[in-house]
Amino acid sequence: MTTLPAAAESDLDRRLRLAVLLVLLVALTAAVLKIIDYGFVPPDDALRHAATAVGDRPYHEVLLFDEAIPAEDSTPGWHAVLRTVHRATGFDQYALVSLSIVFFFGVFTITPLFLLKRPEAWGVVLMLAIVANPGMAYRLALGRPFLLSATAVMVLVLIWQRLVDDPRSRPALLACVAVAMITTWLHSTWFLVYAAPFAAVVTGHRRAAFAMLGAVTVGVVLGAALTLQPWSHLTYNVLHVFKTMGTTPGHLRVSELQPSYGEASYVVWMAILMLGWATLPELRALTLRHAGVTTALAGWVLAFTANRFWSDIGLPALLALSALLLERVLQARLPARSGTRGVLVAAVAAALFLSITSNLVRRWESSPLPQVIRLADEEVGDEWLPGDGGIVYSTEMRIFYSMYLIWPDARWNYVLGLEQGIMPRADLAVLHDFKETGSWDSLQPWVDALRPEDRIIVSAEGRDLPEWEGTISEELPYRVVVVRRADGQPAEPSAPASDAVAADSAAAAPYADGGTIR
Q: At residue 464, what are phi and psi to the nearest 5 degrees?
A: -70, 155
The average pLDDT across 122-149 equals: 95
Distance CA 377, CA 385 (A): 10
Q: Using pLDDT thresholds of 50, 70 and 90, give the confidence band for residue 488.
A: low
The mean per-residue pLDDT over the stretch 458-478 comes to 91
Of 420, 425, 380, give the one whose Cα is nearest residue 400: 420
Between the CA of residue 231 and those of 197, 223, 227, 468, what are the distances in Å?
Answer: 22, 11, 10, 46
Backbone angles phi, psi at 387, to 5 degrees: -90, 170
Q: Around 105, how many Cα atoms within 13 Å sit in the side-chain half-sphere?
A: 29
C-alpha span between 510 and 186 (Å, rounded): 33
- Which of 334, 312, 359 lies closest to 124, judged by CA? 334
> Residue 422 — very low, low, confident or very high, per pLDDT cuts 50/70/90?
confident
160, 378 contact by CB (below 8 A): no
Taking only the tens place, the pLDDT of each residue in 306-344 is 888 999 999 999 999 999 999 999 999 999 999 999 999
Q: Is 393 helix (H, G, I), strand (E, B) or coil?
A: strand
One-letter amino acid identity for 40? F
Q: pLDDT above 70 covers what percent of the chain?
A: 90
pLDDT score of 349 more than 90 = yes
Nearest to 136 by CA among 105, 162, 159: 105
pLDDT single digits (tens) 30-60: 999 999 999 999 999 999 999 999 998 887 7
* pLDDT of 2 above 60: no
Residue 493 has pLDDT above 50, yes or no: no
Average pLDDT over residues 409-415: 94
> Side chain identity at 401, as an amino acid letter?
Y
Contact 31/353 with Cβ under 8 angstroms? yes
Tell me what pLDDT residue 247 has.
Answer: 64
Q: Which helix (H) or strand (E) holds 306?
A: none
Instruction: Give residue 18's pLDDT band: very low, low, confident or very high (50, 70, 90).
Output: very high
Residues 6+ apart with CB under 8 A from 274: none
Q: Residue 94 pLDDT > 90, yes or no?
A: yes
- The answer, yes or no, to whether residue 496 has pLDDT greater than 50, is no
Per-residue pLDDT at 232: 84
Measured CA to CA in angstroms, residue 272 lies from 328, 461, 488 at distances of 16, 43, 65
How far apart are alpha carbons 413 and 63 in whole angstroms?
Answer: 5
Mean pLDDT of the chain: 88
Read off the pLDDT band of 507 (50, 70, 90).
Answer: very low
pLDDT at position 41 is 96
Phi, psi of 415 (to 5 degrees): -80, -25
Q: Is the pLDDT of residue 159 over 90?
A: yes
The per-residue pLDDT for 376 is: 87
128 neighbors 339 (Cβ within 8 angstroms) = no
Distance separating alpha carbons of residues 431 and 489, to the nearest angstrom = 24
What are the helix (H) ranges across 280-420? 291-302, 308-309, 315-333, 339-357, 378-384, 397-406
Residue 459: strand pairing partners? 480
At residue 514, does pLDDT exceed 70?
A: no
Identify the band that residue 489 occupies on the pLDDT scale cut at 50, 70 and 90.
low
How far, CA to CA in Å, does 121 sit from each of 71, 109, 373?
A: 45, 12, 44
Residue 229: HSE in the Cβ half-sphere, 13 Å Cα cutoff: 14
Q: What is the DSSP letter of 63?
A: B
* Chain-centroid distance, C-alpha 383: 35
Q: What amino acid occupies position 167?
A: P
Query: Sheet holding 471-476: strands in order across?
Result: 413-414, 391-394, 455-459, 480-485, 471-476
* Whether residue 511 has pLDDT greater than 50: no
Q: Model-level pTM?
A: 0.89
Q: pLDDT at residue 389 above 60?
A: yes
Q: How far is CA 177 from the centre of its chain?
A: 22
242-280 pLDDT, tens digit per residue, is: 766 666 676 666 777 788 888 889 999 999 999 998 899
423-433 pLDDT tens trace:
898 999 999 99
